[in-house]
Amino acid sequence: MKANNPLNILLNGIVKENPIFVLLLGMCPTLGTTTSALNGLSMGLATMFVLICSNMAIASMKNLIPDKVRIPAYIVIIATFVTAVEMMMQAYIPALYKSLGLFIPLIVVNCIVLGRAETFAAKNNVFRSMLDGIGIGLGFTFALTLLGAVRELLGTGRVFTFPLYPESFGILVMVLAPGAFIALGYLIAIINKIRKV
């Protein structure tokens, strides 16, 4: 499959360059927001929206941005989309916004978003940059949702708040900070094993 193939660009972010399981980027929101599958999914979707929009905007303006100020310009573009996401969440889903808290504005400095702007969007056209944003965003969303689901299942006996076994059998540490490290470590090990097969 050619590197320029649109399907390859999409799959790259999900499999080969998954930001969490392969590149180990964006650990702060990964560990901080995945106490439940819903939180992980929501954080992933918010980041994916910012990735897609900022990649497209940067790809379309790359020739207008002077090289000396490209990083500050990228941050301003990313911050614009993060502010839009934050305001929409605050207006329409305030409970979720409160649950994710500080991690929504921190998308601005997420190394995944800024990294894709610098390494991909600044060197490619709008369409390819959009596909890259979708692929990396799907990979990030998948990773956060999976980690959140594992932690929620082991800690509370639920997945997406749907009860699967009594909460009294849950392992409390899995919904606390150490549980994030434990679950992430095991998931990375399992996924690396699958990728090598």
Q: What is the mean pLDDT of residues 50-63?
A: 96
DSSP helix/strand/coil, 158: strand
- Residues 183 and 144: their CA atoms lie apart, in Å, by 11
pLDDT at 153: 96
Half-sphere exposure of 88 (CA within 13 A, CB side): 11
Asked if the model's pLDDT at residue 165 lies above 70, the reply is: yes
Give the C-alpha distances (Å, rounded to integers) separating 25 from 3, 20, 170: 23, 6, 29
Half-sphere exposure of 56 (CA within 13 A, CB side): 11
Task: Give the model's confidence band at 1: pLDDT under 50 very low, under 70 low, under 90 confident, else very high.
Answer: very low
Asked if the model's pLDDT at residue 59 lies above 80, the reply is: yes
DSSP helix/strand/coil, 52: helix
Bridge partners of residue 163, in order along the sequence: 158
The DSSP 8-state label assigned to residue 17 in this structure reads T
Task: Give the model's confidence band at 3: pLDDT under 50 very low, under 70 low, under 90 confident, else very high.
Answer: low
Q: Do 121 and 62 form a contact (C-beta atoms < 8 A)?
A: yes
Q: What is the mean pLDDT of residues 2-11?
A: 80
Q: Do 118 and 132 form a contact (C-beta atoms < 8 A)?
A: no
Q: Where are the beta strands (DSSP E) in the chain?
A: 158-159, 162-163
In the predicted model, what is the mean pLDDT of the chain? 93
Q: What is the pLDDT of residues 16-36, one digit of tens each?
A: 899 999 999 999 999 999 999
CA 12, chain centre distance (Å) = 14
Asked if the model's pLDDT at residue 2 lies above 90, the reply is: no
Degrees (nearest 5) of the Cα angle 157, 163, 166? 55
- Residues 144 and 126: their CA atoms lie apart, in Å, by 26
**Which residues, 6 or more positions from 68, have their beta carbon under 8 angstroms from its beta carbon?**
none
Asked if the model's pLDDT at residue 181 lies above 50, the reply is: yes
pTM of the prediction? 0.93
Task: Give the model's confidence band at 6: pLDDT under 50 very low, under 70 low, under 90 confident, else very high.
Answer: confident
pLDDT at 164: 93
Q: What is the pLDDT of residues 111-134, one digit of tens each?
A: 999 999 999 999 999 999 999 999
- Residues 55 and 158: their CA atoms lie apart, in Å, by 36
Q: What is the pLDDT of residues 60-87, one digit of tens each?
A: 999 999 999 999 999 999 999 999 999 9
